Amino acid sequence: MIDYDHDILKHYVRTQGWLPACRRRLKRLREGRSLKQQRRLKYFTFCAVRAIDVLMLDVARVVRPSADGGFDTVCFFDRSREAVIETQKRIPGAIGFPGEFIAIVLSDDPDEATVADGAEGEVLIAPEQEPDRRETRERQVQLDQRRAFIRKFPFDVVNLDLEAFLFKSSQEMPGRVISALRKVLEWQRRPVTGPKSPAEHLREFTLMFTTQVGPPNMGNNYLEMLARRIDENLARDGELRAALLERTGATDGNTLRGSNFEAFFEFAVPKVLMHLLLENDWHVDPKFGLRIFEFERQSKDGPYKMLHFVMDVLRNNPPRENRAPGDPCVAAIDAYRQVAKDVFRREPVRIVLEDIDVAALRPTLEQIASRRRKYCPE
């Protein structure tokens, strides 16, 4: 089991990737607003019981507790109610959702369009036409969790630190993770509401996404889709083929897949994420681009690679509801092409323990541990 409290590789990603992006988001959130108009940053995460990322942002004064000390702008998922309760001891007031994230997000809810009309904390009763048995009640509880989660959208920072495979050969295209991401990006278009300010729609947010490279037995349908994403970029811009050749020795997606699967995955997955954003009326801000952090872990089955993607995301302008049917957002398409070029030309940040200033990072881990003890003496 990984000891995240002392995992220098992961903490490098937190301090060099996540923290600067969240600081930038807070700065953007405050720009052009008077002190009275400013609101606190809303953060979604899979922080686990130790809540390292939330406490790091608390130490940095990016995530700020309420006047009574509650982290009520932080939402997180964990697999059990017990784990949620333990996490809340360390970040009191945070909103935790017990259960499997993908399963809850992808639960079928025929009344999703009216979810905002329900009351907070409302537990659904079993429908009259269904038998009142455990399976029915469990489904109703899951739907209640889902609706409560939807009402928390949108977030200023979405940190999908899943640490799992993005694609599984046992799942039909496009896979359950991609389907869940689509829902998250859709819900990000919900209006921000608050007691002291009128409803508004987010024009931008920060997206952080983690995946493991692989799996080794990835189905051909996924492999072919990833190769297509690479080849589409190469067909649009002849300069990219030379950049790919220089970096990898390959000139197309399928050749790269056969010669260097890890590089193939690193090139293709950003294109998938960018397409998902475009589908949902968002795009990556080309000003900051898409940063990729990579490091290797060891397991009983051998080494494996983790990829962390960090990006600033902008709403397409004009947004979908203000464009004629069939009209593309030209600025978003131009941004996609610019960021895609950067992915071909910019190497990922490859994190190796020997290259890290461990002595500089350890005190930040101790600061986080100290902040945790403040809320939850251990």
* pLDDT over 80 at 119, yes or no: no
The letter for the amino acid at 274 is M
Q: What is the pLDDT of residue 237?
A: 87
For residue 93, count other CB atoms closer than 10 A to its CB. 15
DSSP conformational letter for 257: H
199, containing H or E segment: strand 197-201
Name residue, tokens 């940053």: 41
* pLDDT over 60 at 221, yes or no: yes
Quickly state the pLDDT bin for 205 (edges 50, 70, 90). very high
Quickly state the pLDDT bin for 310 (edges 50, 70, 90). very high
Averaged pLDDT for residues 194-204: 77
Q: Which long-range contacts (CB under 8 A, 24 or more apart) does 235-242 make?
A: 236/337, 237/337, 237/340, 237/341, 239/341, 240/340, 240/341, 240/344
239, containing H or E segment: helix 238-248
Quickly state the pLDDT bin for 179 (edges 50, 70, 90). very high
**Mean pLDDT of the chain, nearest integer:** 91
* pLDDT over 50 at 168, yes or no: yes
Q: What is the pLDDT of residue 172?
A: 93
* pLDDT over 90 at 190, yes or no: yes
Q: What is the pLDDT of residues 35-75, one digit of tens each?
A: 888 899 999 999 999 999 999 999 999 999 999 989 999 99
Stated pTM of the model: 0.93
In the chain, the largest separation of any two C-alpha atoms, in whole Å, equals 65
* pLDDT over 90 at 115, yes or no: no
Query: What count of residues does the chain have?
Result: 378
Nearest C-alpha neighbor of 257 from the set 246, 276, 244, 238? 244
* pLDDT over 70 at 116, yes or no: no
Distance (Å, rounded) from C-alpha 322 to C-alpha 303? 49
Crossing angle between the packed helical segments 52-59 and 358-375, to the nearest 10 degrees: 100
Q: 23: helix, coil or strand? A: helix
Q: What is the pLDDT of residue 15?
A: 97
Q: What is the pLDDT of residues 134-151, one digit of tens each?
A: 777 788 888 999 999 999
Quickly state the pLDDT bin for 123 (edges 50, 70, 90). very low
What b/e readout covers 30-67, taking b as 16+ CB neighbours within 10 angstroms? eeeeeeeeeebbbbbbbbbbbbbbbbbbbeeebbebee
If phi > 0 it is left, if psi is from -120 to 50 it is alpha, else beta; for residue 249 that is left
Quickly state the pLDDT bin for 194 (edges 50, 70, 90). low
Quickly state the pLDDT bin for 121 (edges 50, 70, 90). very low
The letter for the amino acid at 294 is E
Averaged pLDDT for residues 9-23: 97
* pLDDT over 50 at 181, yes or no: yes
Q: 190: helix, coil or strand? A: coil
What tokens were used for 138? 């469990």
Under a CB-based contact definition with an 8 Å cutoff, are residues 351 and 318 in contact? no
Distance (Å, rounded) from C-alpha 149 to C-alpha 352? 37
Distance (Å, rounded) from C-alpha 150 to C-alpha 139? 16
Half-sphere exposure for 111 (CA within 13 Å, toward CB): 12
Quickly state the pLDDT bin for 130 (edges 50, 70, 90). low
Radius of gyration, CA atoms only, the chain: 21
Q: Where are the alpha helices (DSSP H) in 114-260?
A: 134-151, 176-187, 220-236, 238-248, 253-259
85 φ/ψ angles, rounded to the nearest 5 degrees: -60, -40
Distance (Å, rounded) from C-alpha 233 to C-alpha 229? 7
Q: What is the pLDDT of residue 196?
A: 61
Averaged pLDDT for residues 205-215: 96
Q: What is the pLDDT of residues 250-308, one digit of tens each?
A: 999 999 999 999 999 999 999 999 999 999 999 999 999 999 999 999 888 889 999 99
